[in-house]
Amino acid sequence: MTRPARLAVGVVSAGRVGSVLGAALNRAGHPVVAASGVSDASVRRAERLLPGVPLLPPDEVVTRADLVLLALPDDVLGPMVSGLANAGAFRAGQIVVHTCGAYGIDVLRPVVEAGALPLALHPVMTFTGAPEDLQRLETCSVGVTAADGDEAAWNVGEALTMEMGAEPVRIPEPARALYHASLAHGANHLATLVSDCVELLRRNGVGAPERLLAPLLSAALDNALRHGDRALTGPVARGDVGTVRTHLRVFAEHAPELRPAYIALARRTAARANGAGLLGSDGAAEITDLLDDGREGQ
């Protein structure tokens, strides 16, 4: 794959993602010439990961750069792009990259009108903004979106991703929103689920719940990624109605706030187990009827 020429990089802004990706691009030979950041955390992050890089207003960062990295929150990206375009900050020949998972390149339409190349590069990883995140890049994928039919643009996005040490995965523009929703549903809700389990165990007198859960959850995740629905186990997948009834009762008594989530996830587990042939139709119906009764009793 053709390596992009040496590019002057401007980072807007030096948050957890922008500072790390800026450092990765700098390590790959694309010098960061300017960054924006006003909070104390952003300034400290820039000093640590982008030493010597001047912190400037966003429009000045963009005008100095050949490669503009817009590492902004989802709701800020569109207005920022429009504001920079209205200020005449973008120019023909620039490469403008955003890192939001929820958007493809349509949000960068003002960039295209200025003659710049739009790309969406979303690292599928959570970052802390610490130097060790550079090593995390080497184990993660990046969702790449470019203009449909523009193979040269796709190649640029993939080459930049590989230079940062990550693996590019093509995400078509129409799939971008569902792609991000799927990642958020898995990663964000997994974190919520695990935290709820840890808290419930701890407040009921179980010592070191993290140590208790770590091998179980690690094995469950690994098995699910390797084997899909064949990895389903537990009382719902086995059709153990009595155990599920007990679960509903103890959740009602000790953690009623978690009971709706248990019911919703158990219903999905029953449906997937039935579809995979692990749970017969009669067993799935019995579990579902029990869960429906439990939901009505909330």
Task: Name the domain boundary from 126, 156, 171.
Answer: 171
Instruction: Give residue 4's pLDDT.
Output: 64
Question: Same domain, yes or no, for 41 and 113?
Answer: yes
Residue 115 Cα distances to 88, 135, 270, angstroms: 12, 34, 52
The pTM of this model reads 0.89
Q: From CA 67, how far away is CA 112, in angstroms rounded? A: 14
Number of H helices, E strands in the chain: 13, 7
Question: Same domain, yes or no, for 167 and 210?
Answer: no
In a domain, 233, yes or no: yes
Q: pLDDT averaged over the chain? A: 95
Task: Name the domain boundary from 149, 171, 193.
Answer: 171
Pairing of strands 117-123, 167-170: unpaired
Instruction: Give residue 81's pLDDT.
Output: 98
Q: What is the pLDDT of residues 109-151, one digit of tens each?
A: 999 999 999 999 999 998 988 889 999 999 999 999 999 999 9
35: pLDDT strictly greater than 80: yes
Question: Same domain, yes or no, for 20 and 159?
Answer: yes
Range of the domain at 129: 9-171
298: pLDDT strictly greater than 60: no
Question: Same domain, yes or no, for 162 and 210?
Answer: no
2: pLDDT strictly greater than 70: no
294: pLDDT strictly greater than 70: no
Question: Same domain, yes or no, for 72 and 87?
Answer: yes
Task: Name the domain boundary from 153, 171, 189.
Answer: 171
Task: Name the more confident of 38 and 8.
Answer: 8
CB 111 within 8 A of CB 85: yes
71: pLDDT strictly greater than 80: yes
Residue 296 pLDDT grade (very low, low, confident, very high; cuts 50, 70, 90): low
Question: Same domain, yes or no, for 116 and 264?
Answer: no
- As beta bridge partners, residue 11 has 35, 69
Is 231 buried (19+), middle (13-18) or exposed (0-12) by CB count in 10 A? Answer: middle
